[in-house]
């Protein structure tokens, strides 16, 4: 009996470890160049978190919450922070369709100029919902890499989009944990 229970728990341990560690295996080093432009898709405050992370990582970064294509001049990486805040949109004087159009134009221009895109989702579970999911579905496929907070990927949305589009996905437990992968991702 003891052997059965022990075997079950060992099996349990391996299965759970494998499941939890699945997305964390991706490690992407030195694929992006500086300077970078950080912008929001959805005007959530996480764009500010990304800016502080970039500062801590010692990256040469400019923050423009509602950036336009002309701000891509001289930029080597575009960082898009995904997450809709109705409050943030209101403060920026934008509605969701205007915001989506703005980001689409920016992404199109970045693609034309061969500027790679790094997508971040740092708001976790509380920064999901239909509007955010629409932006994730629209813009994540354009990215060369994604870093997301684990609780925001509980339903595997990021995992499935990244898998489908062969995008390396780094899953971190908390927003602050994005610092190291961010540092490593840049030359």
Partner 1 sequence: MNPEKLCFLKKSSLTIGIFLFFLIWLCFPSSKQSLLDIHQPYNYIGKNGMVVAAHPLAANAGLEMLKKGGNAVDAAVTTAFTLNAAEPFASGIGGGGFMVIYIAKERKVTTVNFREKAPSRASPNMFIENGKINEEWRKTHGLSVAVPGVLAGLDYALKKYGTKKLSETMAKAIEISEKGFQVSKTFSAINKDEYEKLLLNAGESSCYLNQSFPYEPGDIFRNPELARTLKLISRKGITVFYKGEIAHKIVKAVKSKGGILTLEDLAQYKPVEQAPIKGTYKDYTIFTIGPPASGGFHVIQLLNILENWPVKEWGLNSTAYIHHFSEALRFVFADRSHYLGDPDFISIPIINLLSKEYASHIAGQIDPARPLDFYPYSEFHEQENAKENTTHLCVIDKQGNIVSLTQSINHFFGSGIVPEETGFLLNNHMDDFSRNADSPNAPGPKHRPVSSMGPLIMFKGDMPFLALGSPGGTRIFSSLAQIIVNIIDFALSLDEAIESPRFFSYSSQGKARSIFVESRIPQSSVKDLEIIGHTIQVRQAYDRYFGGAQGIMIIPYTRIIHGGADSRRDGCGIGY
Residue ranges in contact with partner 1 by CB under 8 A: 1, 4-5, 8-9, 12, 15-16, 19-20, 44-46, 48-49, 52, 85-88, 123-127, 129, 151, 154-155, 174-176
Considering the complex, state which of residue 23 and residue 76 has its C-beta at the smaller distance from partner 1.
23
Q: Min. distance of Cβ 126 from partner 1 in angstroms?
A: 4
Of 83 and 116, which CB lies nearer to partner 1 in the complex structure? 83
CB of 187 to partner 1, least distance (A): 25
Q: For residues 2 and 151, what is the distance between their CA atoms, to the nearest angstrom?
A: 36
Tokens of 102: 């703005």
Helix (H) or strand (E) segment spanning residue 86: helix 86-91
Structure tokens that stand for 92 in this block: 């920026």
Crossing angle of helices 157-164 and 130-139, in 10° steps, is 20
Cβ-based burial of 97 (10 A; exposed 0-12, middle 13-18, buried ≥19): exposed
CB of 88 to partner 1, least distance (A): 8
Q: Supply the minimum distance, in Å, between the C-beta of residue 174 and partner 1.
A: 5
């Amino acid at each position: 009996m003891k052997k059965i229970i022990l075997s079950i728990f060992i099996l349990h341990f391996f299965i759970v470890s494998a499941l939890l560690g699945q997305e964390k295996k991706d490690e992407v080093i030195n694929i992006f160049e500086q300077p970078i432009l950080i912008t929001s898709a959805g005007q959530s405050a996480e764009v500010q978190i990304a800016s502080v992370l970039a500062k801590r990582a010692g990256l040469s970064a400019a923050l423009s919450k509602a950036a336009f294509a002309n701000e891509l001049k001289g930029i080597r990486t575009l960082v898009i922070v995904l997450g809709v805040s109705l409050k943030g949109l209101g403060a920026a004087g934008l509605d969701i369709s205007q915001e989506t159009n703005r980001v689409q134009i920016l992404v199109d221009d970045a693609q034309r100029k061969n500027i790679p895109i790094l997508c971040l989702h740092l708001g976790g579970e509380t920064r999901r919902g239909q509007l955010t999911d629409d932006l994730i579905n629209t813009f994540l496929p354009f990215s060369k890499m994604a870093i997301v907070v684990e609780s925001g990927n509980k339903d595997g949305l990021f995992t499935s989009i990244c898998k489908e589009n062969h995008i390396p996905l780094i899953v971190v437990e908390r927003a602050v944990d994005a610092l190291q992968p961010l540092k490593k991702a840049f030359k």
